[in-house]
């Protein structure tokens, strides 16, 4: 899975959790909080991502992401780190 795939996964999960964003054109600079996702919604999106990607990532590391692009990079780096082991 590449970064574009992870980005699309984030978009899909976000639209499932926050349906009013289904017509939004997502960009890496977008911030889920600024798009209207409350803390519970953001947590649900993260849980869905971790499950979809079969990752074990400390949540504190993920919640440090300032935008979707940073979230993609964090998830991708954890995926590739796991493949090297």
For residue 29, give both structure tokens. 């600079």
The reported pLDDT for the residue numbered 14 is 98
> Alpha-carbon torsion 49, 62, 16, 25, what sign?
negative
On average, the pLDDT of the chain sits at 92
The reported pLDDT for the residue numbered 84 is 42
Number of domains in the chain: 1
pLDDT tens per residue across span 38-77: 999 999 999 999 999 999 888 888 878 999 999 999 999 9
Q: Which residues contact 37 (CB under 8 A, 6 or more apart)?
A: 14, 17, 18, 21, 45
Q: Tell me the residue range of the domain where 20 lies.
A: 3-84
Q: Which CATH number characterizes residue 25's domain?
A: 1.10.1200.10
């Amino acid at each position: 899975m590449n970064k574009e795939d992870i980005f699309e996964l984030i978009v899909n999960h976000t639209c499932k959790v926050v349906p009013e964003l289904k017509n939004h054109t997502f960009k890496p600079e977008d911030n889920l909080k600024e798009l209207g996702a409350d803390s519970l919604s953001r947590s649900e999106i993260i849980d869905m991502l971790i499950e979809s990607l079969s990752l074990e990532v400390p949540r504190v590391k993920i919640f440090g992401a300032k935008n979707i692009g940073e979230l993609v990079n964090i998830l991708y780096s954890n995926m590739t780190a796991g493949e090297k082991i």
